[in-house]
Amino acid sequence: MGLSRVRAVFFDLDNTLIDTAGASRRGMLEVIKLLQSKYHYKEEAEIICDKVQVKLSKECFHPYSTCITDLRTAHWEEAIQETKGGAANRKLAEECYLLWKSTRLQHMTLAEDVRAMLTELRKEVRLLLLTNGDRQTQREKIEACACQSYFDAVVIGGKQREEKPAPSIFYYCCNLLGVQPGDCVMVGDTLETDIQGGLNAGLKATVWINKNGIVPLKSSPVPHYIVSSVLELPALLQSIDRKVSISA
């Protein structure tokens, strides 16, 4: 790590600042209720939602060849057909997808203590939101949790030539803020994108949010710091700056 103080912090969005996984689970529960009450599905309702969850986790999205709504409606259509058999039911798939999506967005909120932390941090350093994913999907999340005003800049990977962990997107962020990689800290919950990307770009430090105490694989990228909550960040940044002062 360099001998300059931290000048900028890059934050991931999903499961770092907002509980995307929890919001998605709530969406799935609403779909299960719909399938059981309106369509009289029994255990098939949970099987369908489990199948969709697997499809989402393996999703490969190419923005120039398909739209995210079509892709995700297709996940539901396939899961229903795989579980129930018979002809494809596009109408039901659309109903399930829209209910899951709207419920998920309703529960994507920026907690009050996270808002307060960002407000205080921004008095000291530049803040940038750096999120991978489809531009439409990520923009809807950003609007749902009303977080844009807490940042000096927002960068969505789906709008760039490359996403995290490519160094180019980190250099783009540095240029936006007028800082050097050695001035910046990356904060995120995913070792393969957030942490690996910060390491690839030569940032001052990487901070892994490990809420569930996961033991990483030996082959995983190694972050400079590990915290269990993003709320531990202000104290950590003070500690990093103190080390700079002592070294200087």
pLDDT digits (tens, 9 = 90+) for 171-183: 999 999 999 999 9
- Spatial strand order in the sheet of 126-131: 153-156, 126-131, 8-11, 184-188, 205-209, 225-227
CA–CA separation, 116 vs 144, rounded Å?
Answer: 18
Q: From 3.10.20.880, 1.20.120.710, 1.20.120.1460, 1.20.1080.10, which CATH number describes the 21-107 domain?
A: 1.20.120.710
Say what the pTM is.
Answer: 0.93
| Domain 8-19+109-242 classification at class level | alpha beta
CA–CA separation, 194 vs 206, rounded Å?
Answer: 8
Assess whether the region 8-19+109-242 and the region 21-107 belong to the same CATH fold.
Answer: no
CA–CA separation, 153 vs 150, rounded Å?
Answer: 9
Per-residue confidence at 242, pLDDT binned at 50, 70, 90? Answer: confident
Q: How many CB atoms lie within 10 A of CB 57?
A: 7
Looking at the DSSP bridge assignments, the partners of residue 207 are 187, 225
- Ordered by start, the domain boundaries in the chain are 8-19+109-242, 21-107
State how beta strands 184-188 and 205-209 pair. parallel
Residues 6+ apart with CB under 8 A from 206: 185, 186, 187, 194, 195, 198, 199, 223, 224, 225
The pLDDT score that the predictor gives to residue 203 is: 98
Q: Percent of the chain, pLDDT > 70?
A: 96
Note every long-range contact of 86-92, with CB atoms under 8 Å and residues 24 or more positions apart, other chains counting. 92/39
Rounded average pLDDT over 211-231: 96
Q: What angle do CA 233, 145, 7 make, to 5 degrees?
A: 35
pLDDT digits (tens, 9 = 90+) for 50-102: 999 999 999 887 766 788 999 999 999 999 999 999 999 999 999 999 999 99
